[in-house]
Chain A
Amino acid sequence: MAAASPAAGIDWDRLWRGLAVVVAYGLPVFFILLPLGTFLVYSLFWVEGTQMHYELTLVNYKRFFTEQIYIPVLRQTIVLCLEVAALGIAFGYPVAHFLSSLRGRKKYTLLMLLLVPLLMSYIIKMYAIRAILGGTGFLNRALLALHILDKPSDFFVFNLNAILLTQTVLLLPFAILPIFLSLERIPKSLMDASADLGAANWQSFARVTLPLSLPGVVSAAVFVFVLAIGDFLTPQMVGGQNGFTFGRIIYSQFGFAYNWPFGAALSVILAALVIVAIAIGVRFGGRRAGVA
């Protein structure tokens, strides 16, 4: 393709390079920046009944800060997603550590198995989890059989606990992967050196492995947090009446309330939050990671 055609006098090489530049910059602009910009602009319009008013105003943002319901729900959602991130790391770290302690083929086979759920449909996974958590679900029946409970509990379904458990399960692979990668990057010789200098295994872990894997832990936390906070489907399906999250409010503004500008304003606020979370991740997760 790059072969020049001197007769036509067209510099194909330059043309292709130019096209590549246009595509490389054009695609993100068209598919990411443009929609974001649209949201930003929409959030400055307002709605009266079913009538859109295309005039710039900050009324939507004012509503967010003045009405009693939004900030508490946002705070509750942030706390929930922090809990999801914390649980994800609590479960993900041991798994990642175990994985990276394996050798050769076993390691990558197991890693693949852990990542398989990512390829499955979100909806199917959620129904499965709902079936496990529900009143007559596996979890309740198991607890009954073990005589831990005398009657089925609704502790696990249609509330914030259900969202917490479901999101943790669904997002666990996103916690495992960054931690696994950061553990893999620690040279084996550092463990040898630590033991050689007299450290017991737990000392080597506490003083060498853990500090050096912290960037991965931060990345994992940010990953899980950002995915959890943007997720409205899980709360919608397992949250019930009590499990109200910020994502569901946004969803309802576009769906039932038909107030796109207000929904857009809430989305912009959420996006700002996500950007802050990612910035924290870059600041603390990326640093020192390259030092070897």
Chain B
Amino acid sequence: MLDRPAPDNLGRAGSFRGTAPGGPMAEPRTLLALKGVSKSFGATRVLEGIDLAVEDGEFITILGPSGSGKTTILRLIGGFTQPDQGEILLDGRDIAHDPINRRPFNTVFQDYALFPHMTVAGNVGYGLKVRGRRSAEIEKRVKETLDLVQLGNFRDRYPAQLSGGQKQRVALARAIICEPRLILLDEPLAALDVELRKQMQQFLKVIHREIKTTFLFVTHDQEEAIAMADRICVMNYGKVLQLGSPTEVYYRPHSEFVARFFGDNNLIEGKLAKTDGNRRFVETSIGALPCILDDTPEQLAAPTGGRAFAVIRPEAIRIDTGHGWPARSVDVIVSGAVTSVDFGGASTVAQVEAVGVDGAVPLRVKLPSRVDGLPIRPGDRVRLGWQAADCRMVTG
């Protein structure tokens, strides 16, 4: 049914991220672009002026809390719903109102949506069958695809006879057998337990590398997004807040929301003060803290005296128990009192009440755990230090 060029003609080999084998094409090619896409359900504005470009071959994750509009983006691309405004461009052509079955995308649904009355082979071969492919070809491709997802021995089982992880892989196989330009994954790991989730994350990455198709993965789980994505698109309230590599959104948040969203960050509230080269100071109750600027529009436009936060990750803070600073020197030093020490496996988290001239700020410090325990106890007086390079600022 779908007239698509053979996979080799898609020109994705040259544009695949980081592994460009031939040619000087370092510039990634845009596969799909959302331009000014808005969507409301009744009086509720779900998406507002979304601009997003998906690069050919990448693994892009849309990350946001529930109600942020991330699933709606996926459903718009898949064709399950239409935008009120804006365009969805595939190779430059607007497909926003094309029917679902005419789009060269396939979806892995959150509840898998396997057909209960068909075997694993029947489910996986469905996309080829409705396109009228010959049964010999379907059989061969189903076998190859099931081998790829390591379910070769399960072809005659029914979905009700499979575990969650197996269903997941059937759903994936059913999508990739159609050779889509883009695979849409709607929180596919949400129903799995932690251990299986980790395995499936790795598995999905392996499959992505193997078939070199673009993956668009929707999740509300920050760790999952960081572990899997080439790029993360952080959303909230129907808007894209930040788009960048996992390290960018993790270490260089552009907004208070993003800074808070990635785990147990330290946000120290204060007022914006002077700029000094590529640093800007945030006046807080524990002193003027230097923060590195990324020259984002938000940072450049922020007026002096405005509300802002100095952002420092817990693992970037060093702790001095009276033996001097380990390893490298620090630019900022504050003193405080340990309020709690919590062992958490690989790392131990200490809560420290940092005291300055104008008040106290609770800071979280994450340290590698040690078999004999860390030499700090609640109540200890300590000094905390960090490098200015580890500190960012966001406006609030």
Q: Contact partner of A198 among B78, B101, B113, B158, CB < 8 A?
A: B101
Instruction: Report A-chain residues with C-beta under 8 Å of the C-beta of B101.
Output: 195-200
Q: Chain A residues near B127: list those with CB within 8 A.
A: 197-198
Interface centre among B99, B117, B159, by most A CB within 10 Å? Answer: B117
Contact B116 A197 (CB under 8 A): no
Instruction: Choose from A192, A199, A288, A291 the contact partner of B113 (Cβ within 8 Å).
Output: A192
User: CA A207 – CA B126 in complex, angstroms?
Assistant: 9
Closest Cβ of chain A: how far from B109's Cβ, in Å?
5
Q: Which of B1, B101, B127, B175 has the most CB of A within 10 A?
A: B101
Counting chain A residues whose Cβ lies within 8 A of the other chain, the interface size class is 20 to 34
B80 at the interface (CB under 8 A from A): yes
Q: Is the CB of B117 within 8 A of A193?
A: no
CB distance from B141 to the nearest CB of A (A): 13
> Chain B nearest CB: distance from A60 CB in Å?
46
Query: Is A189 interfacial (CB 8 A cutoff)?
Result: yes
Complex Cα–Cα for A187 and B113 (A): 8
Q: Within 8 Å of chain B (Cβ to Cβ): is A177?
A: no
Within 123-180 of B, Cβ neighbours of A (below 8 Å) are at: 126-127, 129-131, 158-160, 174-175, 178
- B99 contacts A193, C-beta separation under 8 Å: no
**A273 located at the interface, meaning its Cβ lies under 8 Å from any Cβ of chain B in the complex:** no
Q: Which residues of A contact B82 (CB under 8 A)?
A: none
Q: Which residues of A contact B129 (CB under 8 A)?
A: 207
Q: Are A192 and B126 in contact (CB under 8 A)?
A: no
Q: Is the CB of B117 within 8 A of A212?
A: yes
Q: Is B301 an interface residue (CB 8 A)?
A: no
Q: Secondary structure at chain B's binding surface: helix, strand, loop or mixed?
A: loop
Q: Is B327 part of the binding interface, using a Cβ–Cβ cutoff of 8 Å?
A: no
Chain A residues with CB under 8 Å of B1's CB are 198, 200
Q: Which B residues touch A200, using CB under 8 A?
A: 1, 101, 130
Q: How far is the CA of A195 from the CA of B2 in the complex (A)?
A: 12
Q: Are A190 and B115 in contact (CB under 8 A)?
A: yes
Q: Are the C-beta atoms of B117 and A197 separated by less than 8 Å?
A: no
Q: Is A292 an interface residue (CB 8 A)?
A: yes
Residues in B with CB closer than 8 Å to A199 are 101, 126, 130
Chain B residues within 8 Å of A195, by CB: 79, 99-101
For chain B, residues 89 to 130, give those with C-beta under 8 angstroms from any C-beta of chain A: 99-101, 105-107, 109, 111, 113-117, 126-127, 129-130
Complex CA–CA separation, A194 to B78 (angstroms): 12
Do residues B99 and A197 form an inter-chain contact, with CB atoms below 8 A? no
CB atoms of B178 and A197 under 8 A apart:
yes
Residues 166 to 218 of chain A near chain B (Cβ within 8 Å): 187, 189-190, 192-200, 203, 207-208, 211-212
In the complex, the chain A residue whose C-beta lies closest to that of B131 is A198
Expressed in whole angstroms, the minimum distance between the Cβ of B184 and any Cβ of chain A is 8
Question: Which of A190, A195, A203, A212 neighbours the largest number of chain B CB atoms within 10 Å of its CB?
Answer: A195
Task: State the A residues within 8 Å of B (CB).
Answer: 187, 189-190, 192-200, 203, 207-208, 211-212, 288, 291-292
